[in-house]
Structure 1
Amino acid sequence: MRVPVVNVVAVDAGNVLHAQLPGADFVHACQAVAPRAGRSALQAYRDMAATVPGWFDGLMALRNGGMRLLGMKDLGPLRAVQDSVDPRPGERLGIFTVQQCTPDAIVLEDDDRHLRVQLALQWRGDLLEIATVVHTHNAFGRLYMLPVAPVHRWIAPHLLRRQVGAYMG
């Protein structure tokens, strides 16, 4: 089986999160050629969540325990995506709240006392793109992002590669 190529890219004007860039403290996007085969952005997100390795859920459990002690949200595991057929803006979908959901793009968000993170999965022709934009609210948010940013820069392309590889059989 051919290993899918994932490229880190800029969040350009064609990305649904482009308007969120001013003042962002962290921006990351990657894309890969993927057979769409009628898959919506929502289905792509569900497929990605389903490929999360168990060790990453372990990291999320550690994160959640620590954040709970600090009075922050326990988000639960990343792969906990409900089977909502037609999620509406404002509804929870796994660890995020839906901001926008069209066949071509889904924008998800979590806003807590320390930061606001937005994640988008977007079909751009035969490319599937994952973009993340983070705005920190305070010093704790900036401190929180110190270990999270490098993990995110590794896990997002890893999950995209796993997902696209599953699509390709």
Structure 2
Amino acid sequence: MILGVYPTTDLADAYAIELPSSATEDPETLARFVFSQKSAVVAGLLAIRDALVGIFGIKTTRQLKSHEREDKSTRVGMFRIYSSGRSEIVLGEDDKHLDFRLSLMCCNQSQNTRRVVLSTVVHCHSRLGHIYIRLISPFHRVIVKSALRRAARMGWPQEAPSP
């Protein structure tokens, strides 16, 4: 659980979507799937973000993705893996202006209903961080909700058959 990771939190949110019974419960598999399903709109928003933040010395998506090529076992897309368990994976990144963590958790709502919950917490280090998070938070919310809906439309990865 990422709540309480930082002494102060400048952004915290969580979004959930129902997971079909046939879908895998493996959080890393689900995270890799969710973060690989980028719409053209999201790709465009990230390109605009990268063009603007590079001026301020903030890591761009290209810089973050370059780490993935080095070692996929420690990253999911552009995000570093901080912890991984049976029902939750915690991803994120630290930068000079802010640190953030993303949690993708699988949980049972009832005997027949499962959900994927994608949570984010952000801790700002500076005025630049506070300005940045204020500017991008509306886009962040749209992107996270869009990523979950898009993954559901594409069809969640299925549970591997038992041998």
Q: TM-score by structure 2 length?
A: 0.80
Q: CA deviation at 1:64?
A: 1.6
| 8 A Cα contact 2:90 2:104, kept in partner | yes
**Matching of residue 63 in structure 1 with residue 49 in structure 2:** yes
Q: Please, which runs of 5 or more residues in structure 1 have no aligned partner? A: 1-15
Alignment of 1:143-158 (within 5 A): 143-158=131-146
**Matching of residue 19 in structure 1 with residue 4 in structure 2:** yes
Once residues 93 and 138 of structure 1 are traced to their aligned partners in structure 2, the CA distance between those partners, rounded to angstroms, is: 27
Once residues 28 and 114 of structure 1 are traced to their aligned partners in structure 2, the CA distance between those partners, rounded to angstroms, is: 19
Query: Structure 1 154/73 Cα, relative in aligned 2: closer, same or farther at 3 Å?
Result: same
Once residues 101 and 85 of structure 1 are traced to their aligned partners in structure 2, the CA distance between those partners, rounded to angstroms, is: 16
Task: Tell me the equivalent position of 1:8.
Answer: none
Task: Tell me the equivalent position of 2:124.
Answer: 136
Once residues 80 and 49 of structure 1 are traced to their aligned partners in structure 2, the CA distance between those partners, rounded to angstroms, is: 16
Q: Which has the higher helix share?
A: 2
Once residues 69 and 26 of structure 2 are traced to their aligned partners in structure 1, the CA distance between those partners, rounded to angstroms, is: 14
Alignment length (residue pairs): 151
CA-based RMSD of the aligned residues comes to 2.9
Once residues 49 and 144 of structure 1 are traced to their aligned partners in structure 2, the CA distance between those partners, rounded to angstroms, is: 22
Q: CA deviation at 1:81?
A: 10
Aligned-partner residue type, residue 140 of structure 1 = L
Q: CA deviation at 1:76?
A: 2.6
**Superimposed CA distance per residue, residues 25-49 of structure 1 (whole angstroms, 9 cap, x where no aligned partner):** 0001011111253341111111112
Aligned-partner residue type, residue 167 of structure 1 = G
Task: Tell me the equivalent position of 2:33.
Answer: 47
Larger deviation, residues 18-27 vs 134-143 = 18-27
Q: CA deviation at 1:17?
A: 0.8
Q: TM-score by structure 1 length?
A: 0.77
Larger deviation, residues 64-73 vs 100-109 = 64-73
Q: Please, which runs of 5 or more residues in structure 2 have no aligned partner? A: 109-113, 157-163
Alignment of 1:55-134 (within 5 A): 55-76=41-62, 87=73, 91-125=74-108, 126-134=114-122
Query: Structure 1 76/31 Cα, relative in aligned 2: closer, same or farther at 3 Å?
Result: same
Once residues 145 and 64 of structure 2 are traced to their aligned partners in structure 1, the CA distance between those partners, rounded to angstroms, is: 15
Structure 1 outlier segments of 4+, above 4 Å = 77-86
